[in-house]
């Protein structure tokens, strides 16, 4: 099948639809400059007790402290932060509260109607939300840029956010900057949210963040490419061994326009490689880490076969080529039969198919499983959540707002706003007590089915840990290379532990 794909949108791994970026964080925050001109007096007859450079440094230091205190008093008002009335969504009305929220993916137009509603309930509260996700960049680049920008904002009280959004694999590294919730208990989160949320955002019995949405993986396929001269089955097998053979049977690399059966085996040109290798370990009953996140997977006798199975999709008879372009682009061009996709990626594919009249007959089903796994349906959780800055002047008020935003009635409004903006659907609720609202949805039912058993683990640093996995998966797989991977992740943990103790960053990989 041929189609014009020259105008395809950027749907490289994890990339979300384009979002307006009319805001620059530096411009949007209060940044009134305060300058002083100090001139020594020629009429002074007194000898300075300190050298002039040291005296000037002391003067500048004192003035800087005074300026900081002036900014603090301006933001903080006349009293200490007082927890809001969380039952009614009201905060203390006797002081002015300014909350700055730096987020990702959610457009301002989607969030602002709810902010305005909250401000109407709390006239003393002013909330500014900024979508700081970089536009028009592949996810791996945008993700690093976002995290770097976020860390730079923390360095200046003028730009430091009160609320900030992080990926669920970043929570351990940002705990040192986070203020635990005085409102949402660990027990409440465990009873109302999916298990992965508790794993990621509860630490030491305290809640450090709350997500509005959650996501996981499904198998998306082109029905037309499943039918070949030797195969008339348009329903891919449910278990990995049979699925692997099926993907081989529909692959054809001898033709002028080769067809790949399933995109996997090479993290450099496939989406969700990190998620898939972790899921395969979970499905194969490999213990990835201790409850505290210390990796132990290298000790498991099944880990080597798990890594080799992931790489087998590149081996003859293969289903994927390292030289191919990204899997999502190849799928839209009708050259890849089956890919893994989160609900956001699924939305990207549906939109491209309709917008550019690609004519793809798209199907979706549960990701393949293994026969002897611990539960019948296992998956991997990937999503973002909001945390509160421990240096905020209004941590309780920030948490009061997040608690209000994460209530079912507000999440339904946020869902509707996102659906109206994007079409197709909004997002998968992170609250398990809201599953009934979307479990029969034509787009979401596959994803909702596996959310109760979608797992993650306490990862020390998400970006760096993923890089370590990619380096391992890109080379020869041996017991030694897997042991090295585990040792390097332990080094990352040492760095995170040192940061929490206020020491140096610790060993770096």
Tens digits of per-residue pLDDT, 76-134?
A: 433 333 333 334 455 556 789 999 999 999 999 999 999 999 999 999 999 999 999 99
Residue 304 lies in a domain: yes
Whether residue 242 is found in the same domain as residue 288: yes
CATH number of the domain that 164 lies in?
A: 3.40.190.10
CB atoms within 10 A of CB 158: 14
**Structural domains of the chain, count:** 3
Residue 416 lies in a domain: yes
Whether residue 309 is found in the same domain as residue 226: yes
Whether residue 55 is found in the same domain as residue 90: no
Q: How far apart (Å, rounded) are the C-alpha atoms in residues 233 and 241?
A: 16
Residue 9 lies in a domain: no
Whether residue 464 is found in the same domain as residue 338: yes
Q: Which helix (H) or strand (E) holds 99?
A: strand 97-103
Q: The tokens of 415 are what?
A: 């869902």
Residue 148 lies in a domain: yes
Whether residue 127 is found in the same domain as residue 225: no
Residue 87 lies in a domain: yes
Residue 45 lies in a domain: no
Whether residue 416 is found in the same domain as residue 389: yes
Q: Which residues of the chain have pLDDT under 70?
A: 1-93, 229, 503-509
Residue 449 lies in a domain: no
List beta partners, residue 127: 99
From 344, 307, 321, select the one nearest 478 (Cα to Cα): 307
Q: Is the peptide bond before 449 cis (omega within 30 degrees of 0)?
A: no
Whether residue 237 is found in the same domain as residue 332: yes
Residue 476 lies in a domain: yes
Q: How far apart (Å, rounded) are the C-alpha atoms in residues 282 and 68?
A: 50
Annotate 31-88 with three-state secondary structure.
Answer: CCCCCCCCCCCCCCCCCCCCCHHHHHHHHHHHHHHHHHHHHHHHHHCCCCCCCCECCC
Last residue of a domain, one of 62, 80, 98: 80
Q: How far apart (Å, rounded) are the C-alpha atoms in residues 246 and 237?
A: 7
Whether residue 246 is found in the same domain as residue 330: yes
- Confidence (pTM): 0.83
Whether residue 293 is found in the same domain as residue 397: no
Between the CA atoms of 88, 93, 97 and 99, what dihedral angle is there, to the nearest 10 degrees? 10
Whether residue 247 is found in the same domain as residue 321: yes
- Beta strands 336-341; 260-262: pairing state: parallel
Whether residue 185 is found in the same domain as residue 67: no
Domain that holds residue 67: 51-80
Do the Cβ atoms of 102 and 165 come closer than 8 Å? yes
Q: How far apart (Å, rounded) are the C-alpha atoms in residues 122 and 89?
A: 8
Whether residue 88 is found in the same domain as residue 73: no
* Crossing angle for the helix pair 108-121 and 408-422, to the nearest 10 degrees: 150
**Residue 457, SS3?**
coil
Measured between its terminal Cα atoms, the distance across the chain in Å is 46
């Amino acid at each position: 099948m041929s189609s014009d794909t020259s105008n395809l949108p950027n749907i490289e791994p994890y990339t979300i639809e384009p979002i307006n970026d009319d805001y620059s964080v530096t411009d949007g925050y209060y940044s009134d400059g305060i300058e002083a001109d100090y001139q020594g007096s020629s009429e002074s007859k007194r000898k300075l007790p300190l050298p002039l450079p040291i005296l000037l440094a002391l003067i500048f230091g004192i003035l800087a402290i005074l300026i900081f205190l002036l900014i603090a008093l301006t933001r903080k008002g006349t009293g200490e932060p007082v927890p809001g009335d969380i039952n009614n969504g009201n905060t203390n009305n006797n002081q002015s509260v300014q909350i700055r929220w730096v987020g990702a993916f959610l457009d301002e137009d989607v969030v602002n109607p709810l902010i305005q509603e909250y401000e109407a309930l709390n006239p003393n509260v002013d909330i500014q939300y900024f979508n700081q996700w970089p536009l028009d960049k592949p996810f791996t680049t945008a993700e690093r840029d976002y995290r770097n920008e976020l860390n730079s904002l923390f360095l200046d009280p003028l730009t430091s956010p009160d609320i900030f959004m992080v990926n669920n694999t970043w929570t351990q590294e940002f705990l040192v900057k986070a203020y635990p919730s005085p409102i949402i208990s660990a027990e409440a989160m465990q009873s109302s949210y999916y298990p992965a949320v508790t794993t990621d955002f509860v630490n030491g019995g305290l809640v450090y963040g709350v997500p509005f949405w959650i996501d996981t993986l499904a198998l998306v396929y082109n029905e037309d490419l499943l039918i070949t001269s030797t195969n008339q089955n348009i329903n891919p097998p449910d278990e990995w061994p049979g699925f692997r053979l099926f993907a081989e049977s529909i692959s054809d690399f001898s033709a002028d326009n080769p067809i790949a059966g399933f995109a996997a085996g090479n993290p450099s040109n496939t989406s969700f490689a990190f998620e898939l290798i972790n899921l395969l370990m979970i499905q194969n009953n490999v213990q990835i880490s201790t409850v505290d996140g210390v990796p132990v997977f290298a000790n498991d006798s099944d880990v080597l076969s798990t890594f080799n199975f992931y790489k087998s999709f590149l081996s003859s008879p293969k289903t994927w080529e390292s030289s191919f372009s990204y899997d999502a682009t190849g799928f839209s061009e009708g050259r890849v039969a089956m890919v893994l996709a989160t609900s956001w990626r699924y939305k990207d594919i549906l939109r491209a198919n309709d917008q550019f009249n690609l004519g793809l007959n798209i199907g979706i089903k549960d990701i393949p499983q293994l026969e002897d796994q611990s539960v019948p349906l296992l998956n991997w959780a990937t999503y973002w959540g909001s945390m509160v800055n421990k240096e905020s002047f209004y941590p309780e008020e920030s948490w009061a707002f997040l608690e209000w935003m994460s209530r079912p009635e507000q999440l339904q409004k946020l869902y509707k706003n996102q659906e109206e903006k994007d079409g197709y659907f909004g997002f998968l609720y992170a609250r398990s007590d809201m599953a009934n609202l979307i479990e029969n949805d034509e787009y979401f039912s596959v994803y909702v089915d596996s959310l109760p058993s979608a797992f993650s683990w306490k990862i020390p640093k998400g970006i760096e840990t993923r890089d370590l996995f990619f380096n391992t998966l890109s080379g020869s797989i041996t017991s030694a290379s897997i042991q090295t991977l585990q040792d390097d992740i332990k080094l990352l943990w040492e760095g995170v532990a040192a940061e929490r103790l206020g020491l140096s960053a610790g060993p770096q990989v």
